[in-house]
Amino acid sequence: MSALELHNLSKSFGGLHVISDVSFKVMEGERRLILGPNGAGKTTLFNLIAGDLAPSRGTISLAGEDVSELPTSRRAARGIGRTFQILTLFGGETVLRNVVLASLGRTSKRWRPLGSLDADQEFRASAMEILRTVMLDHIAEKCVSETSYGERRRLEIAMALAQQPRLLLLDEPLAGLSKEERKGVEGLLNGLPRSLTIIMIEHDMDVALAFADRIALLQNGKLLVDGSRDDVIADPRTKEAYLAE
């Protein structure tokens, strides 16, 4: 079964067509890479899938269920997790607290008006576990504003993992990282369970191509090429799209 299916998805702002008639399927457990020059509409596509934007036309189905009309929070409850290209963290809180807030979001405990959140051992433990996977457990009690950029990039991923998603959207997880730091994040991504479906936007071709099973190439909001990694790399249109930039 497909984990995600986009059907004739379109989005326009005023007269500007940012996404036009994009259709593709992502199978369960697949690693899908979204490629395209700047302004191709990659992040807009993520915003449509996550629910931050409403499509002008077309549908989005998650594991066979049409979620096009659902608000962001309800889509999150159905298993969509995402990271942001621009870091979106709680800068005044500790690293641990960021992840606790992330895991709290999927439980009904988030509505409790009494009882201390910090004292909740269950959340603490599961958050520590996630911090271990992204190798941030040693700075769990540090305030985010005092961490390094590389650490924040990994925390960004940890937040999405804490949601226990079925479909993970990674928006340029390597942006701005040094070569060393990239290696770390690459290892982290390769260590994620194979059952998890991942769609990634990334400009670092070395990491991205090694990671992807299949690739969708966007240009000017249109789906240019969609296929297996090797097919897309070999396709002349791919080269053209990147040379044109």
Partner 1 sequence: MKSAVLFFLTAIACILPFLLPGNFYLGIATQILVYGLFAVSVNILAGYGGMVSLGHAGFLGVAAYTYAVTSGTYGFSPWTAVGAALVIGTATAAVFGLIALRTSGLSFLMITLALGQIVWGVAFRYTDLTNGDNGISLGRGTVISSDPLTLYYVCLAVLACVMILLAAFIRSPLGAAVKGVRDQPRRMSTLGYNTWTIRYIAYIVSGFVATVSGILYVQIFQFISPHALSLTVSSEAVLMVIAGGIGTLFGPLFGAGVVVLLKNVASAYTDRWPTLLGCIFLFIIIAMPEGLLPGTRRILAGLASALRKGAPRTASLQQNPRAR
Report which DSSP code applies to 122: H
Cβ of residue 155: shortest distance to partner 1, in angstroms? 12
Tokens of 169: 């959207």
**Is 84 a binder of partner 1 (CB under 8 A)?**
yes
Q: Least separation, in Å, of the C-beta of 24 and partner 1?
A: 22
Specify which residues 170 forms β-bridges with. Answer: 200
Please check whether residue 51 is in contact with residue 72, taking contact to mean a CB–CB distance below 8 angstroms: yes
Task: Choose which of 32, 42, 82, 152 interacts with partner 1 (CB under 8 A).
Answer: 82
Closest distance of CB 215 from partner 1, Å = 25
Residue 201 touches partner 1, criterion: CB under 8 A: no
Q: Where are the beta strands (DSSP E) in the chain?
A: 2-13, 16-27, 31-35, 57-62, 65-66, 80-82, 167-171, 197-201, 214-219, 222-228
For the bound state, the minimum distance from the C-beta of residue 7 to partner 1, rounded and expressed in Å, comes to 23
Does 73 engage in binding with partner 1 (CB under 8 A)? yes
Q: Interface mask (CB under 8 A) for partner 1, residues 99-118, using x and -? A: --xx-xxx--xxxxxxxxxx
The torsion angles phi and psi of 32, rounded to 5 degrees, stand at -110, 130
| Token reading at 216 | 């969708």
Strand partners, 87: none
Among 23, 88, 148, 178, binds partner 1 (CB under 8 A): 88
Residues that bind partner 1 (CB under 8 A): 50-52, 71-73, 76-77, 81-82, 84, 88-92, 97, 101-102, 104-106, 109-118, 120, 159, 163
